[in-house]
Structure 1
């Protein structure tokens, strides 16, 4: 069974913000002639990397709700210019929306068992996805989503 990570998506107010940011970063890399890949840099190296790469994802908490995920493709350790060990979590740039799940703030990332992860929202939820993000957030805060 796959293991996942969960992390706060700081600076994004919606899944749409995250998608725009990813597109911007990919375009920057394309223009710079760098490999066109999406990654998130983190200070800590996951010790359970093989479990994460066996179908795991990074679940994003946006505005106190898990709202989406990105599939983990690779975990790439490196040492930055200041000599500090870090790692790149290489992610599929496709953002998969999930059912919303409340989550309190925390620092860094945490492991998330598949059994505790929110399920993906399929095409059967087209009406939900057509709602403006602000309305979806308000309904979720009221416990109606």
Structure 2
């Protein structure tokens, strides 16, 4: 049996105005580019090929916690409202909950190494943990994480 491919690189980005992975799922259904969900950003990652070829994801920080990830399927250029070029990070419709982990605010996006990424809570995902936490509401997961119980 072949071993699963380990992603070479991920990305991490804050979400402003979103309070839970469930709310992000609703946004994904509405925000589309050529039929695909996306995340806007200013700059094209220099290592975009590594991310896509390695099966990378974008980890999402919601209310100061890494709460979920979305597999990245590609990148595309677009023109921002101010007329300057921008980048769309094309993502899967799948919003995969992760074990909540505190993250300080930062601007833009960052590269995120696989060894730094929290484990998935989705029991159907490869390498995921199944401790029942994913069944809890996002607000309760946030509170438990803030108390250091997750």
In the superposition, the TM-score normalised over structure 2's length comes to: 0.83
Deviations along 1:32-88, whole A, 9 cap, x unmatched? xx7321111111111111111121111000111111100111111233464311111
- Tell me how far apart the structure 2 counterparts of residues 17 and 126 of structure 1 sit (CA, whole Å): 23
Unaligned runs of 5+ in 1: 27-33
- 1:125 counterpart SS class: coil
Q: CA 1:81–1:67 in structure 2 vs 1: closer, same or farther (change >3 Å)?
A: closer
Q: Is the aligned partner of 1:141 residue 2:146?
A: yes
The Cα shift of 1:9 comes to 1.0
- 2:73 counterpart SS class: strand
Q: CA 1:138–1:82 in structure 2 vs 1: closer, same or farther (change >3 Å)?
A: closer
Unaligned runs of 5+ in 2: 1-6, 124-128
Q: Is the aligned partner of 1:92 residue 2:97?
A: no
- Tell me how far apart the structure 1 counterparts of residues 58 and 40 of structure 2 sit (CA, whole Å): 12
- Tell me how far apart the structure 2 counterparts of residues 82 and 7 of structure 1 sit (CA, whole Å): 22
Look up the match of 1:31: none
Look up the match of 1:105: 105
From 9, 19, 24, the counterpart of 1:13: 19
> How many residue pairs were aligned?
138
The Cα shift of 1:131 comes to 1.9
- 2:115 counterpart SS class: helix
* Matches for 1:23-102 after TM superposition, within 5 Å: 23-26=29-32, 35-54=34-53, 55-80=55-80, 82-102=82-102
The Cα shift of 1:132 comes to 2.3
Q: Would you tell me which structure has more helix in proportion to its own residues? A: 1
- 2:50 counterpart SS class: helix
In the superposition, the TM-score normalised over structure 1's length comes to: 0.86
